[in-house]
Amino acid sequence: MSQHPNLQEIARNRMSPFTKMLGVEFKFIEKGLCTLLLPIREEHFNGTARVHGGVIFSLLDSAMGAAAFSVLEPHESTATVECKISYTRAVIGGELECFGKVVHAGTRTVVVDGEIWQDGALVAKALGTFARI
């Protein structure tokens, strides 16, 4: 299997208007792995002064999707099929670091593990399946 050429170019150009609006930043990408950062801003909070679960999920989906994309053939794309997330810690500020790691790249789907960490503590854990399109 050949991997997409120039993963750094993918990192620069793969950010959607939505992830840019959230403030997601690429830290690292290579075949099967991706790390994203998210500095928390006021707009990320819910009504109880904690980071909204949708922000956490979006960060995980973005990192896992980029990791899945990194193992595809150059002519392929990907889409989220399903994702199971467990939230383990409330976030009230700071910066989040999110990791996506491919655990299985099949002919039709890619299974990816995701984690978000903050200051040495697990914030959320996910397992997602992504279609090869």
CATH number at residue 87: 3.10.129.10
Q: Does 121 map to a domain? A: yes
Q: Which of 49, 47, 35, 42 is nearest to 7 (CA)?
A: 35
| C-alpha count within 13 angstroms, C-beta hemisphere, residue 40 | 21
| Structure confidence at residue 4 (pLDDT) | 53
The boundaries of the domain holding residue 115 are 7-132
What CA dihedral angle connects 130, 44, 15 and 69, to 10 degrees? -20
Q: How many domains does the chain have?
A: 1
The rounded average pLDDT for each run of 10 residues, N- to C-terminus, in the chain (133 residues) is 57 78 92 96 97 98 95 92 98 98 98 98 98 97
Q: Does 56 map to a domain? A: yes
Q: Does 50 map to a domain? A: yes
Q: Does 2 map to a domain? A: no
pTM: 0.92
Q: Does 1 map to a domain? A: no
Q: Does 115 map to a domain? A: yes
Q: Does 95 map to a domain? A: yes
Q: Does 18 map to a domain? A: yes
| Structure confidence at residue 12 (pLDDT) | 64
